[in-house]
Amino acid sequence: KQWYQRRVRGAQRIFWAFSEGAAATALLQAGGSDALNALQTASIMTGLPYAMLMSFICMALWRGLAMEFGDLNPYGTDFKIGVIDPFTTINVQLWIDFAKNLVLAPVTMARTVTALGSGKIGSTTLCITAYVLWFAWIGLSLLELGVEGAFAISWCCYLSFAFILCAVRAAVRAQWGINGNIVEDYFASLLLYPSVCIQVSSAMEKEGRSTLMSQPDLQPSSPGDEEGLECDVLKNEQAV
């Protein structure tokens, strides 16, 4: 059986090697290097959504393992609105807020920083800087149509914009003791900055904060279970 499996694996490798080589040869013969470059670009663009999905899956896996081993409090404070909630829930107001923050994200950041206790000068400077970087990202991306290489500078501007939002999200987490880390802050800001703006703005109000997991509703089924119920409650309090 092992010999058969090795033989099948070898045949598969040979088949895919010849198939990929034949496809590349046909593209080079039909359209030259331009066709091959187009295929490479299409492959990268196809893989981009999967890369974003894998980022969220890895973060979810990290949180699950951290809770399992006691490094993360499952009953600790968390953002009530998730980063992907605008895409997974039917909430018209959430959709409207997401659309607004596509353009008004720097304003939301400035209001959040002001609510955290920053002065008017600091919040205004943050808003202007974020808007300059955001407009530079859009403008230089469009300029790529006429100036080769402008997209590189545009994405540097966007990375800087995401870093500012990351700092705001980290400050909100520190203010309210919300679970998370700086890596999660940055990648959330990089991939879905409108959702992060909704998170930080709503977290400044009590209704915008919740817990990773809700406290279990422990009720004794009989008078004899009250002692066991008290022990369970004590354990939960110690875990918190």
Alpha-carbon span 2 to 168, nearest angstrom: 56
Count of CA atoms in the C-beta half-sphere (13 A) of 30? 11
Residue 217 has phi, psi (to 5 degrees) of -85, 95
Q: 188 and 55 in contact (C-beta within 8 Å)? A: no
pLDDT score of 154? 94
Cβ within 8 Å of residue 179, ≥6 positions away: 63, 72, 73, 76, 77, 78, 173, 212
H-type alpha helices, 91-146: 92-115, 120-143
Taking only the tens of pLDDT, the chain with its 240 residues reads: 455 555 657 777 788 888 878 877 777 777 666 666 777 777 777 777 787 778 778 877 888 888 888 777 777 788 888 888 999 899 999 999 999 999 999 999 999 999 998 888 999 999 999 999 999 999 999 998 888 888 899 999 999 999 999 999 999 999 988 888 888 899 889 989 999 999 999 988 877 777 766 666 545 455 554 444 444 444 444 544
Cβ-Cβ contacts under 8 Å for 18 (sequence gap 6 or more)? none
Give the pTM: 0.70
Element (H, E) at 79: strand 77-79
Q: How far is CA 137 from the centre of its chain?
A: 20
Handedness of CA 101, 104, 106, 108 (dihedral sign): negative
Instruction: Say what the pLDDT of residue 100 is.
Output: 95
- Rounded to whole angstroms, the Cα distance separating 133 from 129 reads 6
Nearest to residue 175, comparing CAs of 224, 118, 239, 97? 118
In this predicted structure, what is the pLDDT of residue 206? 76
Q: Is 14 left (phi over 0), alpha (psi -120 to 50) or beta?
A: alpha
- Using alpha carbons, select from 6, 27, 62, 40 the residue that is nearest to residue 187: 62
